[in-house]
Amino acid sequence: MDIDLLSKMVKELILDNDVVMLPGLGSFIADVVPSSFSDNGYIINPPYRRLSFRPNRDGDNKLAEFYASSNNIDVNTATHIITDFLNDMKVVLMQKKTIVFPELGRLRATRENNYFFVPEEDLDIYPDGYGLEPVSLKTHEETKEEVDAALADLKFIIAPAEEVHYESGQPTSAEPVDEIAPVSVPEAVAPVSVPEAVTHVSVPEEVAPVAAPTISKHCRPLWRRIVNILLLIIGIAVLLLGLFIVLAHVAPDFIDSILYTPEELRIINN
């Protein structure tokens, strides 16, 4: 017995059964997944069967019975052969952590030797879903009958008025018209006199261009006016200081007479 034969037997049994047990190792479980939506609801996926693995060790003996009937041996002998092979496979799984089941998937083990199964992407174990494919609502094409019905409705909507038959008893386009009443042509109408005031239309003279308004000095921003005042005050102060220094050198007596009283001058001179 080898892994290829075991994989074929499991796949054959899982088509008609929901559980296939591997004695001493666990069981393959097939669950039906209902149809679902994807791509924001624009694709309808058909139902399918999902294959997984559970490490339960109790169950039926379908695998041994299937092997016994295929090889014309008794069930006990088949059970021993399968059990010995699965024990060897368990050792390999603990060492390499992965065993490939051809056409099914990969059985893997974690560091704690917990088993889990990764099925093949194109695995098909759902006979009832044969021929079912995803339906895209984006690429739906109308049938010829649907197109003809839509064109008939559109033709009825845009039909010309003469093709519409009325049910109120009035004549329709299908009924002949007895006689067309003659159309009376009115006599010539005397020309209407136009008032003289209307005949002369005064053309306005060319409008002179409007000069752009000038900005007044009083409309300057407040902060600029304050800065100008401060600069003026500083300039006056500097001018007065310079004048005082010049007078102190040219006429010191005059400056002393301004700064001191006569009594203070006599004390200073003495």
> Percentage of residues in the chain with pLDDT exceeding 70?
68
Residue 100 confidence class, pLDDT cut points 50, 70, 90: very high
Per-residue pLDDT at 226 exceeds 80: yes
Is the model more confident about 185 or about 222? Answer: 222
User: Taking the domains of the chain in order of start, what are their residue ranges?
Assistant: 3-135, 220-269
Q: Is the pTM of this model over 0.75?
A: no
pLDDT reported for residue 134: 63
Contacts of 54 (CB under 8 A, 6+ apart): 26, 27, 29
Highest mean pLDDT out of 17-21, 139-143, 165-169? 17-21
Q: Where are the beta strands (DSSP E) in 25-114?
A: 26-33, 36-38, 43-45, 48-54, 98-101, 105-109
Per-residue pLDDT at 236 exceeds 90: yes
Is the model more confident about 75 or about 252? Answer: 75
Per-residue pLDDT at 270 exceeds 90: no
pLDDT reported for residue 145: 78
